[in-house]
Amino acid sequence: MLPQHLKQIRVLMLNEKENLERTLFRLEQGFELQFRLGPSLQGRKVMVHTNYPLEGQPFQRHNFHVLEWNYPSGKDDDSDKFCSLNLKIAGSYQYYFGYTERSGGGYIVVDPVLCVGADNHVLPLDCITIQTYLSKCLGHLDDWPDRLRVAKESGYNMIHFTPLQTLGESRSCYSLADQLAVNPDFIPEGQSYSWVDVGALVEKLRKEWNMLCITDVVYNHTAANSVWIREHPECGYNLVNSPHLRPAWVLDRALWHLTTRVAEGRYKAKGLPADITNDSHLNAIRTVLRQDLFPEIKLWEFYQVKVESAVEQFRILLQNGSKPDHSKTGGKPGLKIVQDPQFHRYGNTVDMDSALETFCGTHFSTCTPCCLYDQAANCIVGNVVYERLADHGPKLGPVNRKNPLVTRYFTFPYQDMTLEQELQLLDQPDKSCHFLAHNGWVMGDDPLRNFAEPGSNVYLRRELICWGDSVKLRYGNGPEDCPYLWAHMQKYTEITAKYFHGVRLDNCHSTPLHVAEFMLDVARAVCPNLYVVAELFTGSEELDNIFVTKLGIASLIREAMSAGDSHEEGRLVYRYGGEPVGAFVQPSLRPLMPSIAHAMFLDVTHDNECPIQLRSALDSLPSSAIVSMACCATGSTRGYDELVPHQISVVKEERFYPKWNPAAPATSASEVGFHTGIIAGKLALNKLHQELAAQGFIQVYVDQVDADIVAITRHCPSTHQSVVAVCRTAFKDPKTHQYDTNVPPMFIPGKIEEVILEARTVDRHAGTYKKDDGYINGMPEYTVEIKEHIPLQDSTVVKQAGVTSKGRSEFVQEITFQKLTPGSVIAFRVSLDPKAQKLVGVLRHYLSQFSPKYRRGSTADENPPELCVFHRLMSKLTLADLNVLLFRCDSEEQEDGGGCYNIPGWETLKYAGLQGLMSVLADIRPNNDLGHPVCANLRQGDWLIDFVSNRLVNREGPLAQVGQWLGAMFNYMKHIPRYLIPCYFDAILVSTYTTALDAAYKLMSRNVLSLCPVSCVELDASLPSLPSLDTFIALRGLMLLTGRHTEARNIILAFAGTLRHGLIPNLLGEGRCARYNCRDALWWWLQCIQDYATHIPQGHEILNCLVTRMYPTDDCEPRKPGEVEQPLYDVIQEALQRHLEGISFRERNAGPKIDMNMRDEGFSVAAKVDPATGFISGGNRFNCGTWMDKMGESEKARNKGMPATPRDGAAVEIVGLSKSAVRWVVELHAKGLFPYDGTKIHRDGKEVFVSYSQWNQQLQQSFEAAFWVSGDPKDPNEKHPDLVHKKGIYKDSYGASSPWCDYQLRPNFTIAMVVAPELFTVERAWKALDVAEKKLLGPLGMKTLDPDDMVYCGVYDNALDNDNYNLAKGFNYHQGPEWLWPVGYFLRAKLYFAKKLGQETYGQTVNLVKNVLSRHYTHLERSPWRGLPELTNENGQYCKFSCETQAWSLATVLEVLYDL
């Protein structure tokens, strides 16, 4: 088993309703596949099912089992749980998932592992070089080694045999008469060879020649003369089991009889002779069909009703008063004709319900069926045009019985008879069961539809391009439908899989999928690492994927012959394999990405037309070279390398392949050797192809030098060696086409080590080609002139090579050519210049301390820098240092005279620290988006590189040392070619970044959960600039729960020192311009003290800590540090006492200096305890003393100076926070930890003592009576029943100056539920939370106002200035936009009260919470800020006026995770 850091792990994220059955996921054996839950599934009891077999169990396609979830964090946490498969078996495997029902699914394909040689060494799929042989041309089995040796000596390592079974009458390689018997042509007279002998030869080739063998399996048809199909006609589509073909058979027989009559000249008088040569003859065919043939066979009768019978039946129904069955007709008129399933003439019937609905007893008219004659006539004439007139057709000549007018669609195993006699056989099942439909293919048809099944009119329309030698096989839905056929083909499959290493699925796109699935399962049971290849003609990659995924096809055959020019041929190389040169290093654990099917790229297939006829003989070598440079399996067909100048027909060819003889003369037809055709060149190219794949040259670059020259680079990302092949194609014959003699020079970066090969196709004057009668011979006039592994100066193709240098890393060789003639190839081995090679090795050496994947190609540094052990260096950093290293936004950097880096022509990075780049690179890396502006910037210069290191070097201490380390690594990197800079820059940053994250985690508590804890590092930067309220809301989540207790304590005490008027300031203003204009900050501060004392062991000791008071009295000037000190408990006591006494003052410097928008009345601050209820009450309609603090700014809309949400009176969250604080001090006093049990105040001119216990009880008794909105008009507690528009909620405030504001539904009551749950009755709380969930909960945040409210607006636009009072200048900031931080309190409240309602409710709530949090997790992963925003617009839409990452948004989410 591989070490975890080397094991390749792919992660597939599951999302609800995501069906990926048409998406290809390819994996290798030894990989681990992890399934994880996407946001839409988190919080649900999802089960993942798969048919990948359990350890030691056989694969059964329809046997699924449930995968167990793994919990890395040790608890039921959906954010990181996964289930996995350790992939050890090749094949296609299905998975699906769901919670109540199936929700999605797909397939994975695991590649086979192929082994060759006596030592069973692995042959990677990309190393494959395959050659196809027509088996019937190999002769006797004893002669095969001599003929197959041609493949071995030409450098191939795999042979593809066309079927080796007994052939049918046509002698087509793919028309098999007996699928179970070896072709008797292979067995010499007097010998008795069997499959065992074939298997022995295959094994000999594997062990001794290091060659694998595959062969075709043909499931779709059998030869028309197969003995077994006559004995078992149910295995084909006949007129008994497929009566829908009866009309097509009648037409087919009529066309056959037309053939005989045309051949006899009986239609000459009508302009239709036997020899069809022009358009007038074609028109005559149409006339004969329309006037003679179609009327004679009356096909329409198969689709018509017997009118008399139908009318009589209808008349009787009317007489009986019958009514239509509306459940069948839907009450809609429209006559329906029911097709006779047996297709008898006049066998159709009328649906009488539709007749009654339509005609209602008035009249009846017949319905004329749709006529298919025109379509059939068009196809018949089109077929004649191709076979007899077209230049690219076979030119069959005069019509006769051997070459009929059109190919017959059905077998007719009886003696000749008249058409009338034949038609009588239709109703004789013992005869008509032997009329079997031929197979073929349909242009542009749906490959997933079986064109022979009912519902298809392919045979009747004559749309089938028919193979008249083969019968289409009818499998039905499973073995029970045709037992003999399934058993027969299963045995055929088992024989093939037993003796061969792989199969080619012939006619794959027309083979029923369920049949191919079954047979391949059988084959893999015999040969687990079966190599499955296929050629698909679906015309769609998506449709291709259906076959590839369901069948586990390892390689799809792709044809270089599909390219019309060299540019397209080069594009195919790039398309079918490899990654771009300079691609990023991918982590071992990464998302599972869709892929295209692995290609088997062939310069020619045995079905292609001859390339020499379509292009030129000279193009064979360069096109082969282009194919050989592809990073996938490659291959050819026997005859191509020998320059056979015609197509070797799979049907008509009966000659033998020549044998191998290294000394074969040029004129020999029976033997071939190294000098035959391009064999010597192909050997060199095949060796090069295998070497490139085996040594990891996985990166590809294709350069179209000019119209005929293609340069292909294969690059090894470990050693940075390259091979550059320059191929000059010759699509046109140089003898008839004038090629440009000026070949452009090439610039090759790096040092050319050698010329691997240079080869040209040359004329050797050995006579001209003459087709041999006994052997498949090639053109003797051409051979290959080749040199291998020579110094550059010995090249005859290269004229000169000059060395140029463009800077320290641009070592370039300029190549000019003298003999790169059409048909030439030259391949260079290139390495980096020596200095760059050494420095990249040193850089890889240092990177290998982070990942062993860099060890290959690494070299130790002779003079290592002092700071070489990076982990030790990183351990010295504090969280504050890490914040500088990782984060800091533009404004923070500007304070130090810097800023974030701007990518010219693109945008500015979000952070100056590493996260700014890592967020961008995270999107670039998986897709190898080397064209991204960041990559372009890195290639063009060192500006960004220097920025990263210099901003740290200029600091002090360990950060400067980190900068120096980065600078040292970057200095190595700067000496390598610029095209490699993005890759290594990313590698250095990833190494630094991941190490920094590890260091950050170690400085935090175990409570730092999986929800992007890195953002917790940011709090140091964000706190000083945050308002006090935001700081206090964020403190528990980002400080206490993450273990940063000292920082939390310092913040609490620092703010304690700013107390004045019994309040904590909203904005510090460096302590000298502080504004004491918020009523809630004090209570949030007290909640923080309580959380600190509760959460931290001995946390109550903070109460005795001395606080340096800045303002010991309301009106004094700021005091110096240490001048006035008092314990924290005294500061708390003062705050409580001042609220009980009552707070009322006017802000200092009131006016536009401190607030240019506020009206004069707004500068008056008031807060007090209502003696009647105990509620903290205050504010007025001109100020906003809570977190909902938007002040109107628009003069145009006349909202300037008016708060959007004054929330004066008693705000619900302040009531909850005050209850929490009072309850806590009561508990502290009881434990002797707080010296005060109450305070003296002046009330009505008297000094009275108010006990905290009494205040606590008063709040408890008053809350629900004042805040619960029952909706009952008779509720005695309800003062304004007319203002209620949502019942079953808690008011947002109590006693507002505008009473209707009290009744607005907002999320603030959930805060009170969390901090003071004792105020709420469980049932009422649950109802209110349910309303909030339905009305306020958004994808990420909570709507700040009920969407049913008349002033609701969910889109915040702070730049808008119009005359709309409710919107102008962002007036609706808290009137609908969805804020994130309240969602934490909502979810925590749900969890608390769900527990009170029982385990079932709690379980459902946990699921909801996880589902909501998953959306935050997704946003964190996708946001370039790696944070959660302040707010979103309605329904989670992006808001450009929102802060992109806010401390309290993340903090409250972390609190929810802690509660979970």
Residues acting as catalytic residues: 506, 509, 607
Taking the CA of residue 1258 as centre, how many other CA atoms within 13 Å lie in the half-sphere pointing to its CB? 17
The span from the CA of 1223 to the CA of 1216, in Å, is: 11
Helix (H) or strand (E) holding 788: strand 782-790
Specify the length of the chain in residues. Answer: 1460
If phi > 0 it is left, if psi is from -120 to 50 it is alpha, else beta; for residue 626 that is alpha
Helix (H, G, I), strand (E, B), or coil: what is residue 1143?
strand
Amino acid at 1135: A
Long-range own/partner contacts, residues 78-81 (CB < 8 A, 24 or more apart): 78/37, 78/42, 78/43, 78/1410, 78/1414, 79/42, 79/1009, 79/1010, 79/1011, 79/1410, 79/1413, 79/1414, 79/1417, 80/36, 80/1010, 81/36, 81/37
Nearest to 716 by CA among 736, 728, 701: 701
**Tokens describing residue 1376:** 């609908």
What lies within 8 Å, CB to CB, of 674 at 6+ separation is 153, 662, 680, 683
Give me 170's structure tokens.
Answer: 């046509």
Residue 176 is encoded by which pair of tokens? Answer: 């098999």
Closest CA to 135 of 654, 505, 504: 654
In whole angstroms, give the CA distance from residue 924 to residue 1171.
63
Nearest residue to 596 via CA among 572, 577, 582: 577
* Region label for 915, one of left (φ > 0), alpha (ψ between -120 and 50) or beta (otherwise): alpha
Q: Find out whether 676 and 783 touch, Cβ atoms under 8 Å.
A: yes
Side chain identity at residue 573, one-letter code: V
Q: Which residues contact 712 (CB under 8 A, 6 or more apart)?
A: 570, 573, 626, 629, 700, 701, 702, 703, 724, 725, 727
Sheet architecture: strand order including 1143-1146: 1143-1146, 1164-1169, 1176-1178
Residue in 358, 318, 314, 315 with CA at minimum distance from that of residue 336: 358
Task: List, in sequence order, every residue forming a beta bridge with 102; answer none if it has no partner.
Answer: 98
Exposure of 349 by Cβ count < 10 A (0-12 exposed, 13-18 middle, 19+ buried)? middle
Task: Specify burial of residue 440 (Cβ count, 10 A radius: 0-12, 13-18, 19+).
Answer: buried
> Do residues 181 and 227 touch, judged by C-beta distance below 8 A?
no
Tokens of 763: 């004329």
Q: By the 8 A CB rule, do 1036 and 1091 touch?
A: yes
Q: Which residue is listed with tokens 């309800």?
A: 1278
Whole-angstrom distance, CA of residue 690 vs CA of residue 38: 41
What is the strand order of the sheet 464-472 is part of? 221-223, 464-472, 438-442
Check: CB of residue 879 under 8 Å from CB of residue 1002.
no
Pick the closest to residue 495 from 784, 148, 181 (CA basis).
181
The CA distance from 1158 to 1150, in Å, is 9
Q: Are 750 and 832 in contact (CB under 8 A)?
A: yes
Calpha distance 1395→635 (Å, rounded): 67
Distance CA(811)–CA(799), nearest Å, equals 20
d(CA 239, CA 217): 27
Q: How far is CA 5 from the centre of its chain?
A: 24
